[in-house]
Amino acid sequence: MADLNVGDAIPELKVTPDKYLPHRYAGASGDFNPIHIDPELAKAVGLPGTILHGLYMMGLVARAATDLADGDPGKLKRLSVQFRGMGAPETEIAVTGTVKEAGDGKVTVDVVAAQGDNQTIRNAEAEVQL
């Protein structure tokens, strides 16, 4: 892995989940909360439509973080996030980050996941061994 120094941007991860992604994430994770899979129910509770699972978006943040260690899952030591907005299917998600601390073979990265101006995950911090 390339050297990462304080202030460096990490490679951006862009993913556009398709319409049925929340169904597949529900099956994979066991979280069948209907606001993620039933558009009529989602609208009935005041949402524009089904929303993405926050933990799916956190999974993408974890993917971007492990990518710093050549995708090795054992190198991600800690990940802390705040969910600050609802994500929608069929809209591109961009995961970006900036190195906050670097040294002793590990980095701490500030990470954001956003759909346009909607920062669905903020104040996220990932600790990765390099």
Q: Write the DSSP assignment of 92-128 as a string of letters.
A: -EEEEEEEEEEETTEEEEEEEEEETTEEEEEEEEEEE
Residue 31 binding another protein, by CB under 8 A: yes
Among 56, 68, 97, 109, binds another protein (CB under 8 A): 56
94-115 burial code (b ≥16 CB/10 A, e <16): bbbbebeebeeebbbbbbbbbb
Report how many residues bind another protein under the rule CB under 8 A: 31
Q: Which is nearer to another protein, 43 or 77 (CB)?
A: 77
CB of 16 to another protein, least distance (A): 11
10-34 burial code (b ≥16 CB/10 A, e <16): beebeeebeeebbeebbeeeeeeee
Residue 29 binding another protein, by CB under 8 A: yes
Residue 83 binding another protein, by CB under 8 A: yes
Residue 105 binding another protein, by CB under 8 A: no
Do you know the residue count of the chain? 130
Q: Which helix (H) or strand (E) holds 60?
A: helix 54-67
Q: Which is nearer to another protein, 73 or 105 (CB)?
A: 73
Among 6, 9, 28, 44, binds another protein (CB under 8 A): 28
Q: State the residues that interact with another protein by CB under 8 A.
A: 15, 21, 24-25, 27-31, 45, 54-56, 58-60, 62-63, 66, 71-74, 76-83
